[in-house]
Structure 1
Amino acid sequence: MGHADTLLAMGGAFVAAAFLARIGRRIGLPTIPLFILAGILLGPHTPGIVLVADPHDFEMLSALGLVLLLFYLGLEFHLDDLRAGGSRMVAAGGIYLGLNVGAGLAFGFALGWGTREALVLAGVVGISSSAIVTKLLVDLGRIGRPETRLILGVIVVEDIFLALYLAAIQPILGGADDIMEATLQVAKAFGFLLALALIARFGTRVIGKLIKVDDDELLVISFLGAAVLIAGVSEELGVADAIGAFMVGLILGGTSSGDRIRELVHPLRDAFGAIFFFVFGLSIDPGDLLAAAAPVLIAVAITMAMNIAAGVLSARLHHMGPEPGMAIATTLLARGEFALILGTMAATAGLNPKLAPFIAGYVLVLAVIGPLGAGVSDRLGRIPPIPQLTGARRHPETADSSTD
């Protein structure tokens, strides 16, 4: 692709993504599925305008988008939030992950696509979209509601699981030849992860002094360089670049410059994150989406059932009624950035080609159903069978929101 063609394609990608995102905002849909849709419509697999004939032309921009998404997630992660939540909040996160990850793993094996594919599907089905969940809570004005603290607690538990899961699955996706090699790769991954975690726990003061600068431009260059550099080192060590970026965000988020970095990284995350989702859409053939319709619908049904069960049980654990339970279930329903990250990793590792269209369809459906369900969760919580199932009180305002 020539220089002019690259500029035209990049500009067209941003404009198309922005146009569809504006439409989505008017009808209450999140931007992620619309960015993917823009890639599908303007990619080589659909008739009409082909903005990008080869998705590999945008590979570096997509990788940068992935790094920034995980870097931002690390910035937002606070282990203190988990400790402050008490054992019941940890239990709620465990219930959510246990039901959803377990169901995803069982579903993956039932499809018969392969063991590595089943392990990827466990993560795809098991972890909700932090970006969509956070946006929903703000858009629906639910930040102050009792169940919101529990939802955020589940997100924190998911973030911990995400870091460990990525570190563990990368050697598996790399296709280690034997158990010894796989064990060594996993040990190396966790060793690297532990080293970064120790820096995050004990070295933030030193790192904060090194990165502290009054000029915003220099601060952006510093944190962006650190995130990309450590992501590259991670990749060289056989650890997913995403986990390296996540850990850099975790480290820098605990420094005195953390709040400024969160503010400065927003436009970069949004812009390059949109390109990441757009490029993922470029690789999707709509015909493959139709072929994956049956497993997608089954997976969506399983996810909805597991989320309702997890929401009801978590609410009951915290002495909340059915309406907060349904709010928890529907708010955490959407899947997004992490599922697509796994899809990208699976494609790079040469896994079953059916995975990418399945993940795209699954994310598209749930990213639409989730926000719509969250908007009517209070009415869903008043459906008669729900109180009978939980035996809990109906009104969230009477809930005991105390923690251990």
Structure 2
Amino acid sequence: MPFSLVASTAVHLPDLINDLGLILVTAAISVLIFRKLKQPLVLGYLVAGFLASANFNFFPTVKDINSIEVWAEIGIIFLLFSLGLEFSFKKLLKVGGTASITALTQIFAMIVLGYYAGRFMGWDNMNCIFLGVILSISSTTIILKAFDELGVKSQKFAGNVIGALIVQDIVAILMMVLLSTVAVSQQFSGSELVKSLLKLFFFLSIWFISGIFFIPTLLKKLKHLLSDEMLLIISLALCLLMVIFASEVGFSPALGAFIMGSIIAETNEAEHIEHLVKPVKDLFGAVFFVSVGMLINPDTLVEYAFPVMILTFVTIFGQSISSTIGTLISGQPLKESIQTGMSLSQIGEFSFIIATLGTSLKVTSDFLYPIVVAVSAVTAFTTPFMIKYASPTAAFVEKKLPKKWVKKIELYSANSQAIKTVSTWKIVIKEYLFQVILYSVILFAIILMSKNFLLPLLDDILYGHIIAAFLTLLVLAPFLWALSLKRVAKAEVQELLKNRKYYGPVIVLIFIRIAIALFFIGLMLNNFFSPEIALLAFVFSIVIMMIFPKNINRLYHKIEDRFITNFNQREVTTKNLNRNNLSPWDGHMANFTICAESDLAGKTLEEVKIRENIGVNIAFIKRGGLHIYIPSKEEKLYPNDEISIIGTDEQVKQFADYLEQHKLNTETLLESEIVLQQYELRDQWFIGKTIRESNLREKTNGMIVGVEHNGRRILNPESSLILSKNDIIWVVGDKKKIKAFFS
């Protein structure tokens, strides 16, 4: 009876679980097919979404679209968080002018081209603006996937491309904020845009400064308590906390996720957290891309086939040409410029996110989203071919261009790499300006937080305003001292003071800093007291600052040291080398990993003769936490060693082929059976020789782990042990090779 009752009761699954199961099954089948076809997996997810949508009736369809949209929003958050983990503010500084000029030239050109392409097709203003931004951002996912499949990631131009992608991602985040402002206000007011930019700069500065000050210290203090599970939970909690902060002040949740990722990227745990978060990102990222595919309407694509063709043409040629021009302007050779430009000729994940923003704000038309998806799909298919044929195209262009043009480009490239001097006065102005902006942001943020949180908390307490003002002044004091009295650009200022004409301007700069500091003291007190009391408090505050200058100075330097230590934590630990290209030469640094299946493992650099055979030099070897700089010829290579070599593109490619040739047959390795075998020595040729002289390790990939000699058992014997007749030995290794060795 109980059995029949249970059997007859139908278990009702929520639509969300049914929909998620359908999405993942469809996605799994699609990506397997696309993996087999060697196409980007993103396209597989888009196809899966189309198959699972109501637009395709041959399969079960997703029932609760709203729930999937929530999951897709989570997917965007984790995608941006993971992107932030791969990005660091130092990395942005290191990409230099080449990547910045390339990316900014491309973005500006494509926004203009996209906008006027939309106007040409009769679209309204808002659709054209979003279209221009959508077409300006290349796909990091698709490009890196294509680089891996084509084996060009170690070539010199790839570094320019990756640097440009970093800059593009940052600009994309900024443009998302500006688009949100424009969409909400429905007007293009210059004052509104400036206000949004200042607001963005203010919050980014505060989040970054406070995040770097607290989070690396927190992770360092808790390191001995953190398991993988706890580290994952803490990192996701920090991500979602910043998402909440960003949302509360009116920014995109994705911006908060990206900022927290970039803060954690400066810590020692960044790579570990990135590894832990990857499965979460992959799951929700798949749901996001599948949800994008659900919006593909075949009827819309047929209706708008002409716009898809036009925008595909604009994307491929516009991105390629504008990026090539930008790279040339930055001072790179013609070949690298064309390779860089043709690699950036597609749109992808950020374009989807920006298109989603337009849809969610209800400021773009329904047809824009499927058109963007279609253009992305086509350009994703063409990307590997664009990269593959970039070198032949560069050779063709160089051949067809007038020789004097080619020589001028080469001369411009060489001159662009020359070191340019900067005047001492400009250095001083730059340093003073940086100090004033930095500490003004910090002081304003402290005053704002004190007014909105501390003062209401103490408002009902006797002398609450005085206590709040005093506590705020204590927090402000070290930064007020740094703003007004900290010595900036000491050597340069001393040099300027030797020239009497700079004496007055330097004094003016000092007084300006002091005046700004006094302004912030007055601003703070004005929020707590009436004007009369505020004036007395102002005088009292200055007296306090003058009585305890050494204490305030000491406190500030403690804060500064903590920030600098945290900011440089990962760099100090890893001791990264400066991997600048040897421009305008073709030489550059490239990283490779000695795989576990390589027969180079265990050999010295003298034995492998990399420099003699290929002509490259090994700059350093990274082995776990150990860094070996300029290794000697006696240094051995081990599995999973990361080595950095210096050579030309051709030499780097030869080295990649060399590593591939020295991989052992993995199928044979998988088929081999590792066993522990026992043998009694009777008439083997190596009786009377040492274990080392038997060459058993070299011939069988095995080792002797035990010897029984005259009733005495020796576990893990030394290689100098002499083997005798009637000894019983235990050998571990490949079953077939051991059998052949003893037969």
Specify if TM > 0.5.
yes
- How far residue 350 of structure 1 moved from its aligned partner, in angstroms, is 0.9
Shift of residue 62, structure 1, vs aligned partner: 0.8
Unaligned runs of 5+ in 2: 1-11, 411-581, 589-743
Q: What's the CA shift string for 1:275-332, capped at 9, x where partnerless?
A: 001011112211112222211211111122222223433554444343x344322322
- Residue matched to 1:126: 136
1:44 aligned residue: 54
1:23 to 33, 46, 69: 33
The answer on whether the counterparts of 1:77 and 1:250 sit within 8 Å (CA) in structure 2 is yes
Larger fraction in helix: 1
Work out whether 1:235 is the aligned partner of 2:247: yes
Q: Distance in 2 between matches of 1:383 and 1:346?
A: 41
Residue 585 of structure 2 corresponds to residue 400 of structure 1: yes
Change (3 A) 1:372 1:239: same
Residue 377 (structure 2) pairs with residue 192 (structure 1): no
Indicate the residue corresponding to 1:222 in structure 2: 234
Which residue number corresponds to residue 365 of structure 1? 378
The aligned residue for residue 392 of structure 2 is 379
Cα distance between partner residues in 2 of 1:290 and 1:195:
48
| Equivalent pair of 1:78/1:156 in contact (CA under 8 Å) | no
Task: Tell me the distance in 2 between the aligned counterparts of 1:326 and 1:88.
Answer: 14
Cα distance in 2 between the residues matched to 1:385 and 1:297: 29
Give the TM-score taking structure 1 as reference length.
Answer: 0.88
Q: Name the CA distance, whole Å, in 2 between partners of 1:383 and 1:199.
A: 52
**Range with bigger deviation, 273-282 or 225-234:** 225-234
Which residue does 1:298 correspond to in 2? 310
Q: Report the 3-state secondary structure (helix = DSSP H, G, I; strand = E; otherwise coil) of the residue aligned with 1:330.
A: helix
Q: Identify unmatched segments of 5+ residues in structure 1.
A: none
Q: Point out the more displaced range, 172-181 or 67-76.
A: 172-181
When residues 146 and 154 of structure 1 are mapped into structure 2, their CA distance, relative to the original with a 3 A threshold, is same
Written as runs of structure 1 = structure 2, the 5 A alignment for 1:3-402 is: 3-175=13-185, 179=189, 187-199=198-210, 202-209=213-220, 212=223, 214-316=226-328, 317-322=330-335, 324-351=336-363, 352-384=365-397, 387-388=400-401, 391=406, 400=585
Q: 1:364 to 1:195 in 2, by over 3 A?
A: same
Seen in structure 2, the aligned counterparts of structure 1 residues 123 and 9 have a Cα distance that, compared at 3 Å, is same
Q: Secondary structure at the match of 1:174?
A: helix
Cα distance change of structure 1 residues 19 and 76 upon mapping to structure 2, 3 Å threshold: same
Alpha-carbon distance change, 86 to 229 in structure 1, aligned in 2, over 3 angstroms: closer
Q: Is the 2:111–2:133 Cα contact (8 Å) retained in structure 1?
A: yes
Tell me how far 1:246 sits from its aligned partner: 0.7
Q: Distance in 1 between matches of 2:361 and 2:56?
A: 26
Partners of 2:244 and 2:375 in 1: how far apart?
30
CA RMSD of aligned residues (A): 2.9
CA contact (8 A) 1:219 1:261 kept: yes
Question: Matched residues in 1 for 2:390 and 2:242: separation?
Answer: 41
Pick closer, same or farther for the CA change 1:181–1:218 going to 2, 3 Å: same
* Cα offset, 1:89, TM superposition: 3.4
Q: What is the CA–CA distance in structure 2 between the aligned matches of 1:294 and 1:34, rounded to whole Å?
A: 24
CA distance in 2 between partners of 1:295 and 1:272 (Å): 31
TM (norm. structure 2) is 0.50
| Residue pair 2:88, 2:263 contacting (<8 A) in 1 also | no
Cα shift at 1:66 = 0.5
CA displacement 1:111-150 (0-9 Å, x = unmatched): 4433332222122100111112222222221122111111
SS of 1:3's equivalent in the other structure is coil
Change in Cα spacing, 1:18 to 1:387, as seen in structure 2 (3 Å) is farther
Bigger Cα displacement from structure 2, 132-141 vs 217-226: 132-141
- AA matched with 1:294: F
Give the conservation status (yes or no) of the 8 Å contact 1:292–1:361.
Answer: no
**2:140 and 2:175 mapped to 1: Cα distance?**
16
Given the superposition, is the C-alpha separation of residues 299 and 207 from structure 1 closer, same or farther in structure 2, using an over 3 Å criterion?
A: farther
Sequence identity (%): 24
Which range moves more in the overlay, 236-245 or 97-106? Answer: 97-106
